[in-house]
Amino acid sequence: MTARLSEALRHLAADVPPARVPDGLFDAARRRHRRGRAAVAGALAVLVLLLGTGYALHPVALPLPAAPRHDTPGLPSKLVDPPLRTASVGYSAPGAAAMLFGGPAVRTNWFETRMGVVAADSDRYRVLDGDPAVAGFEATLSPDGRYVWMGATLLDLTSGKTTPNRPDGYPLAFAPNGKRLVYADDDTTFTSPNTYSTPYVGVYDRDRGTDVLRVRVGTTWVPPGRTAALSSDGGDLALQVRDEVWLTRVDDADADRFAEPYRKLPLAGGRLAGAGSWLPDGRSVALLGRSTCTDCPVPSYPRTWTLAVRSTVDGSPLAGAAFPPLRSRSFVHLLGWRSADEAVALVGVPGPKAVDLPEEHDIAWGPYHEVGTEAVELVVLRRGTTTPEVLFRTPEGITDLSVAADLAISGAVRESGRPHYGPPPFWALAVGFVLAVLVTRLVLALLRRRRDR
């Protein structure tokens, strides 16, 4: 029976017509397979080439067309938070800046020290990320906006490169002309429980490339920001050391010895007013008094600052109408003077939940205890007025600010336009290319499948 079944199946198979295979079927399949492998290899080769070329050209990447320039540089009328795609200063230099800013809106979980920079002549935004620094305290703009000084780094914003002609210490203040820099020796020592000590404070001359003054501080910590000021000619230094302001002549000293202050002004709980504390006459300096008010805008923050002028000749207060008090302000940083009766300053605005903490030790003299600050205002203080004139206020989430003092003092303000964030960063180009290759491969596969069907 099995033999008969096999014979019947052979007869049936012999009667079936042979299958017709199209000519070149196997050659076409082989060609498609080769083309697919070639496409993948080509995409990988282009990707490797792009990554290698991009890495090689990264420091000198060509910028995209810049935002429109203004005939007269000035402070922008509006400040925006730079998005993640914003180019870095080292990748695309913005030029002389109007503002350096930071805060929760600018920082990210990956870039916790991120700061923003906006140019003076255009709405070119760039980002700066480096050593941990707070804009306006540990990182500051030069008066002309060309340099950013943070930690031991002096960055030229016109080139995006670090300048070698810089002091070896953390920043305290620029001279009004930007040629001399006041710094504190960063070789500090810690003394239990909560104090540091700064060995000395120096004045560095960029034209000479050396120190022109050193003042021995000793067992006291000099915190960054708002604690030193140079006169307009760079010939006198005012330095806050605990509850005193030391006045020292720069021209009478050199880098080979430590100079002694010619006068010490008591503060009685106040502070030096900031880098712009010296009045235009060079014979008087501004100090801040601190008191408590009962009608403050923020009841939990009753700190009130009052600006007073003292003579550097005998230390006596100078007569004149009072400046308006600054109620419920976390800090005051004087930038400079339009005249003997008009001062320009940055002031910190505490939020509704901020708490005014007492200053019990050196660490509290830094910016870190003022955690309740929610905004920064640029104000003008005029003698004889009751309230300051507010020129600018940072938006929500931008709580740290340093401005080009020359622009702020002159009152140069330009109308903000459309922001320009620079050329895409290298990582964005790489990700975009990879996505383009994947999408192209998917589209080609779908078209090939449709054609085969």
Q: What is the SS3 assignment for 414? A: strand
Tokens of 404: 């080009």
| E strand spans, 122-276 | 125-128, 139-141, 147-150, 153-156, 161-162, 170-174, 180-184, 189-191, 195-197, 200-205, 210-216, 228-230, 236-241, 244-249, 263-266, 271-272
pLDDT recorded at residue 428? 66
* pLDDT at residue 319 is higher than 60: yes
Q: Flag the least confident range among 50-54, 77-81, 96-100, 195-199.
A: 50-54
Q: What is the pLDDT, as a whole number, of residue 22?
A: 64
pLDDT tens digit sequence for 108-158: 777 788 999 999 999 999 999 877 788 988 899 999 999 999 988 899 999
pLDDT tens for residues 37-46? 656 555 555 5
Residue with tokens 């100090």: 287
Burial 254-271 (b: 16+ CB within 10 A, else e): eeeeebebebebebeebb
The more confidently predicted of residues 277 and 14 is 277
282 phi and psi angles, rounded to 5 deg: 75, 5
Residue 6 lies in a domain: no
Query: How does the average pLDDT of the chain come out, rounded?
Result: 82
The amino acid present at 235, given as its one-letter code, is G
Of all residues in the chain, the percent with pLDDT exceeding 70 is 79
**Sheet hosting strand 236-241, strand order edge to edge:** 228-230, 236-241, 244-249, 263-266
What is residue 64's predicted lDDT score, i.e. its pLDDT?
Answer: 41
| Rounded-to-5 percentages of helix, strand, coil across the chain | 20, 30, 50
Residue 200 pLDDT more than 50? yes
**Predicted local distance difference test score (pLDDT) of residue 97:** 96
Residue 50 lies in a domain: no
User: Is 26 within the bounds of a domain?
Assistant: no
pLDDT band at 365 (very low <50, low <70, confident <90, very high): very low
pLDDT at 225: 77
pLDDT of 368? 46
**C-alpha distances out from residue 105 to 373, 375, 448, Å:** 13, 11, 48
- The predicted pLDDT at position 59 comes to 39
Cα–Cα distances in angstroms (integers) from residue 367 to residues 100, 269, 330, 423, in the given order: 16, 17, 9, 34
Q: Taking the CA of residue 189 as centre, how many other CA atoms within 13 Å lie in the half-sphere pointing to its CB?
A: 7
When mean pLDDT is compared over 5-14, 69-78, 179-188, 434-443, the highest value belongs to 179-188
User: pLDDT higher for 130 or 103?
Assistant: 103
Within 10 A of 407 (CB to CB), how many other CB atoms are there?
25
Task: Give residue 438's pLDDT.
Answer: 80
Give the residue-averaged pLDDT of 315-324: 88
- What pLDDT is attached to residue 56? 43
Q: What is the C-alpha separation between 52 and 57, in angstroms, rounded?
A: 9
Q: Which of 388-392, 410-414, 436-440 is the least confident region? A: 436-440
* 326 and 347 Cβ atoms separated by less than 8 Å: yes
Q: Is residue 426 part of a domain?
A: no
Higher pLDDT, 360 or 262: 262
444 located within any domain:
no
Domain that residue 356 falls in: 75-414
State yes or no: cis peptide before 132, omega within 30 of 0.
Answer: no
429 occurs within a structural domain: no
Distance set, CA 443 to CA 434, 435, 436, 448, 451 (Å): 14, 12, 11, 9, 12
Model confidence at 424, pLDDT cuts 50, 70, 90, reads confident
Mean pLDDT of 51-56: 48
CATH number for position 309: 2.120.10
User: In this structure, is residue 311 part of a structural domain?
Assistant: yes
Q: Per the structure, how many domains does the chain have?
A: 1
**pLDDT higher than 60, residue 53:** no
On the question of pLDDT at 209 being above 90, the answer is: no
Helix axes 25-57, 426-452, angle to 10 degrees: 170
Measured at the CA of 210, the angle between CA 252 and CA 235, to 5 degrees, comes to 35
pLDDT computed for residue 18 by the predictor: 65
Closest CA to 250 of 279, 275, 230: 230
Indicate if the pLDDT at residue 309 is higher than 50. Answer: yes
Residue 27 falls within a domain, yes or no? no
